[in-house]
Amino acid sequence: MITLKIHHRTTYRYRQPVSLGPHRLMLRPRESRDLRLISSDVVVTPAAVVTWAHDVFGNAVAMANFQAMADNLVIDSIAEVQLNAAAWPVFDIAATAISYPFRYSDDEWIDLGALANQQYSDPAGQLSAGRGRSSAVIRPTRLPCSKT
């Protein structure tokens, strides 16, 4: 059994105070046969009235309604979950993907199609640094989860 603590923080900064409209937050993991939610806490700054409901798919959805103007917004979520699933990874990592960024073959680039096209301008070249055709530093692949 694996216990994970997930900390997600989103911060928005504005040049001047703005009126914040209602925000729909989907930060609480959905429980399943293999995942048990031990605790979940969402803190919103500036203060907001936060109400919870479930959508038609069983997801916990919070609505944050703000009363005051603010020049920044912080949404901070901490959840602790227990995983009863098989140890990760449940699949073999291809030998060509052991190091990241890995390189796609010419055929794979064709299969990726529009997914490989850059979606945003990147004058400094920061977004393209991790692409398979770059000369980025090669690092071993790591799993996104850690045991606690």
CA distance 45 to 93: 40
Q: Are residues 101 and 62 in the same domain?
A: no
- Res 109: pLDDT: 83
Q: What is the residue range of 77's domain? A: 2-83
- Other Cβ atoms closer than 10 A to 50: 14
One domain for residues 77 and 105: no
Q: Which residue has the higher pLDDT, 117 or 55?
A: 55
Whether residues 55 and 18 share a domain: the answer is yes
Residue 141, pLDDT > 80, answer no
- Record the pTM: 0.56
Residues 109 and 132 placed together within one structural domain of the fold: yes
Is the same domain home to 77 and 28? yes
80 closest CA partner among 23, 45, 44, 31 = 31
The total domain count for the chain is: 2
pLDDT tens across 27-62, in order?
999 898 889 999 999 999 999 999 999 999 889 999
33, 114 Cβ separation under 8 angstroms: no
Contact between 105 and 116 (Cβ < 8 Å):
no
Mean pLDDT of the chain: 83
The answer to the question of residue 32 being in a domain is yes
Q: Identify the pLDDT of residue 130.
A: 52
For residue 42, what is the domain's CATH number?
Answer: 2.60.40.2250
* 40 and 105 together in one domain: no
